Chain A
Amino acid sequence: MNNDSTGKPIITSDPWSKLRTFTDARIALGRCGTSLPVKESLEFKLAHARARDAVLVPADMVSLANQLELQGYSTIQLESSVVDRMEYLVRPDKGRLLSETSSIALQHHGQRNFDIGITVCDGLSGPAIHENAYEGVSGFLECVAKTELRVAPVCLVTNGRVAIGDEIGHLLGCKMMILLVGERPGLSSSNSLGAYITYEPKPGITDEARNCISNIRTGGMSIAEGVRKITYLVESGLALGKTGVELKDKMSSSYLPLQGLIPSL
């Protein structure tokens, strides 16, 4: 029943709904009285529920490791010093530190001194990892395979924050660390991946020393474009000998990934 007993519509609709083609914003929702119609109210709740689940459901790092190993890439499973998801949310300091076990494991890792380290960190979104991390990591590694750059095993971290890549990179002796992290989910996107690129990572580095690419997802920056931008920043960061505020993104539309680092035949 769309009308009240006098035959008037219950919902006052907004005659500008065609403007929705210009934005994902929740416009032209209509109203009952001045309030939100039930359909829109429940749509919002559903989006919020999905975003909440994205935060609380841990990323499945074992599956990601299996996928990567099947392709011949070695991986290391690590965890931060956070004990559970609840602590993760309130103790950013602990999320930036490896657990003792993980730290010892890396200290005893046989190999050292890599050009590139890659860390995948669940951050605030499991779906970001499930939907984008494998393609991002393997896409990047395919580019790197054409070069002579030495790449560390892919480190997969549970309950980690961005700066944990600094400790990992330092322990493995990486010249450059690429950290992929699940971003804080919004209602219209709960699967965004962020990428942080840090030259000579070591504990104590702050954010102005990194480059960041965000919103890597279907519907945002495509994974292919994200990989291209990561390789651009890695290549120019290695050339410049630094990352961060002094490394500007001036990637041209014709840039070919790591072309400058591929040995000539």
Chain B
Amino acid sequence: MSTGRNFREMSLKELLAKATPRRSGDELAGVAAKSEEERVRAQMALAEVPLRRFLSEAVIPYEKDEVTRLIIDSHDSEAFAPISGFTVGEFRDWLLGDEADIESLAELAPGITPEMAAAVSKLMRMQDLVLVAAKCRVVTSFRNTIGKAGTFSVRLQPNHPTDDLQGIAASTLDGLCYGCGDAVIGINPATDNVENIVRLMQMLDSLIDTYSIPTQSCVLTHVTTTMEAIKAGAPVDLCFQSIAGTEQANRSFGVNLAMLQEANEATLALGRGTVGNNVMYFETGQGSALSANAHHGVDQQTLEARAYAVARVYNPLLVNSVVGFIGPEYLYNGKQIQRAGLEDHFCGKLLGVPMGVDICYTNHAEADQDDMDVLLTLLGNAGCNFIMGVPGADDIMLNYQSTSFHDAAYIRKLLGLKPAPEFQAWLESMEIHNSAGVLQPVDVSNRLLAMSREEGK
């Protein structure tokens, strides 16, 4: 070894960072392995670490960080018992075995800490991440049921650079006619003032009501703005917030755990769900803690897994890793984005979180649609709960590329997956899907197209 450091003397934090697959963000933070050999040797050392050690050695001190306190205080030692004697390496092997099935993994979830999930993912190849995640099912519901075996859902994302209602409605209609929108119809608003937010919420609510669509809406604004909208009597289905894996990074988003709790309670109190009551929608993404200079020397993937530990406390309907959004200083190219997307989905699912992935990239990253196709195909096989549906994969408000309505139709067709059952029934009633879940040509006389005539006035 050229580094001269003994891995046995390293803190868990250092070992996790050195064992992580190569990533531009960890190099930027100065925590990555200095050579390929050091990286693999760190992985070998990590494989020998007993899982119990994660319960006594925090990567960010308990006293300094409320996310650490949450992780430690909410750990379920009974659920942990079956794996309490394992090393990280043994845990990896066990997860791939047949004893780890849907039931045992669901029972295990509260006993796994995010650091354990991150650690074991670092010892896995892509096929391992796919195979194990495919065995983890996390089902949630509001006006429909998301995450069941054989289903694959889509967030319809009809953004517009000036929040023009007709423009948003046009993109929404396009998505619905392609069978998308069962995860949520969710708008990223261009301007954040409350009046504008309420206007968007009312528009989506009226649309869902008029066409009796079994889905939920969300305007992705700051949690405090959503709270104001609730107070103003706005029709809020889901409460959105971006979250991260450290207290300090969450503070840079203007949130803390108490605020999330309050928002969760306020949204639950509206009682707008019909088949379930999962009311939170969280977004995350590797690199956010480093970007806010709030990473404490922890690698970005471990921090990302800690964000899922935050999310799971509030029983969210949807958690979405916006994997390639921030830029190449965190995930440099298609390979890094693909690996990160699969790790995020795997860690979230292992922790019992309803994971979706915004499969995406910016124009300054070394990536293109081919890379997105690879990740989409992998995530479809890994049992991902949902992806984004953006018209033509091009978000004209956020200036990045994601997955399209066509992409969603592709993965459903390839793998024989259907939308959420309630939404599928609605699509059939609207003659958009047939009973086999196949897209039908939309006839000019289709009832849903009346919407376009309304908008065209």
Contacts and interface: CB of A to CB of B under 8 A. Distances in A.
A186 B413 contact: no
Interface in A95-138: 124
Please give me the 8 A-B residue pairs with the lowest Cβ-Cβ distance, nearest first: A26-B392, A186-B399, A23-B167, A34-B409, A19-B170, A27-B174, A51-B363, A25-B391
A20 to B, nearest CB: 7
Contacts of B171: 23, 25, 27
Interface stretch (B81-89, B216-224, B400-408): B400-408
B233 to A, nearest CB: 26
Contact of B363 (A35, A44, A48): A48
A25 B167 contact: yes
A25 B396 contact: yes
B363 A184 contact: yes
Given A90-B28, A184-B362, A184-B363, A22 B166 contact: yes
B394 A215 contact: no
Interface residues of B, number: 51
Nearest to A189: B399
Interface in A11-54: 12, 14-16, 18-20, 22-29, 31, 33-36, 40, 44-45, 47-48, 51-52, 54
Contacts of A24: 161, 396
A29 B177 CA distance: 12
Contacts of B452: 16, 18-19
A176 B33 CA distance: 42
B406 A25 contact: no
Interface residues of A, number: 45
B256 interface: no
B456 A90 contact: no
Interface of A: 12, 14-16, 18-20, 22-29, 31, 33-36, 40, 44-45, 47-48, 51-52, 54-55, 89-93, 124, 183-190, 215, 220
A244 to B, nearest CB: 15
B314 interface: no
Contacts of A220: 161
A24 B409 CA distance: 22
A34 B159 CA distance: 23
B441 interface: yes
B173 A186 contact: no
Interface string B376-414: 000000000000001111111011110010100110010
B167 A29 contact: no
Contacts of B393: 26, 44
A50 B396 CA distance: 15
B394 A25 contact: yes
B308 interface: no
